[in-house]
Structure 1
Amino acid sequence: MTVTSMGATVAPRLPSVVVGVGDGLLRTRVLDRAVAEAHRRDRTLRVVHVDGPATPDTPWYGDAGERAESYLSRTAPDVEVRRTCATGDPAAALAAACGASSLLVVGDRHRRLGSEAGRTTEELIAIAPCPVLVLGEDRAPSAVHVPPRAVIVVGLDEGPGATVVLEHALRIAQMSAEPVEVVHAVDEVTYDAGRIARRRDTDAGDEETDARARIEDLVSAMKDRFPDVPTSVVVAEDRPARLLLERALGADLVVVAHRCRDAEDLVGLGSTTRSLLLAAPCPVLVLGPLAGAGADGPGTRAGVVR
């Protein structure tokens, strides 16, 4: 669809934030987060409600989109809200509503391996042209109270896509006036001549020192573009998922990226991203292969954490 302005035909502006809703209980926590993200951007929000394909025996009808729009009109009157209701594949419809500069916000029910909710989220991450912000639900309360740290945690590897993910985390931190904590895990094991061995303490110490220097150089190269964002670096010998889950305690957000080599060679989520979606105590922002390609193009390996 196009609109005419001053005699010129232009494409309609895409909303800065897209939020997916499903049938059943309206998840106001997800809608509230989408509104908060829209406030940080241009105050536009699209609600997308997708149901399965209609058949003669089961005609499609759902009012979740209408209920979400009504809720937003009451709680966020300063946000321009648009609504799309569609049938078909939820992941494809949600991805189609987004542009490269959008943010897609979805709620993921307490995931079980093989659940429909989990599959939809993973498909979205694979095909969305923009970052996907996942809000896990039904999290069990922590046995020990962890005070909030008001920090954005970003998991970083040393692949070519690392600068894209770091830049995205710094931009979010700049909008929300929060510091960034860059987290990098050094492998606990070495792979030599086809054998797997535990690192010696001296080797691990040297590797941590070298990795910290490389990560700090990467962060320093970004400081002139984000001078007002306080940034710290955490490097430790650990598994990436375990280290990121530990650093996520009390954090406002964790930012990670898809592991695949490019958008046409999808191999599924890596174990680190899947672990975060299952167990992170805070929202998780995932840059998929299209969103994470950045200026280097879709062939860049955007997966900075596995």
Structure 2
Amino acid sequence: MQILVFVAALAVLLAAVPLIATPPTTRVASWLRARDPAVPESAVIASRAALQHINVTSGAVIVVLAIAWVISDVDFYLSIVGYAVAVIVGTATRLGGSEQRRASLTPANTSPGLWTRRVFRLSLGLASTTLVLSLAMLAVFTDRAGNTATYLTLMNPFELPDISTRSLIITASVSALLTLLAVAGWAVVGRRQSAAGTSPEIDGMIRALCFRRIALASVGAQAVLLGTLLPAVQITTLEVARLSSYSVNEDLAAVTSISGLALIVIGIAACAHAVLQPVWIQPKRTTRYWRTENSDAETTHPEVPLPAATGNSSH
């Protein structure tokens, strides 16, 4: 299990590199021109500057949280939540635009896409589940353990955090605070001024990128919190004997721990994905072809890439 923790820590460190570093100009240009090949060089430079400002802010938050992590000896899994916090705070930073240009934007430029909204709602659903489950398990724990609940700790053999009244309260509190931060960041991104030096279309792409980052970072962090909380379900089978000894259903503990680890892996992947795509890792674009037949020969012509829902043209 220590290997899994090491791999998770390595994944977070690798994901922190693109979070702090500024993407190369070529990647920014490729990202922008995938939508509009006529994007001028000045807009590419302005967009890169906006992304750099976001990353610098995220980097500053990472440094502060890392110092706090070392001083307070915070659990590793909470450090992943700190990574998500850095993503959200950096994404919601001011980009140096103007109110006049912000007023000229249309709802299409300032609203998140349908997929992004669904991911954000999923994060809110995970947060609600975490909060309810934490409070429910806290009540059951207190009821079954009685006076020993305040100092009784259930050990977890899968390298997940141990279960105690303190851990349940911390998990619920962190989940609630993260939700408030994500909602605040979501509102700021929708209402802030345009990114300096960008056109409405380019600003819309940057804004959509920020919405997407907040949604994925939030859902990833909430998945990690819920993953660390799932083993607490074994509290429902807790039996406390004399001399502060206890027993739980080991099969249930194993199933919930494995499920929790799976959720944690998904959460880490979501946080990394929030930063890596679509600038650092860009989706491949394919060119489709259509064929025409005449009396002499068959000719194949390249077709302009279309959205998957529209299909190919027929001639």
Q: Which category describes the TM-score, using the shorter chain as reference length?
A: under 0.3
Structure whose residues are more often helix by fraction: 2
In our comparison, the structure showing a higher alpha carbon Rg is: 2
Higher share in strand: 1
| Greater RCO (Cα-Cα under 8 Å, separation 6 or more) | 2
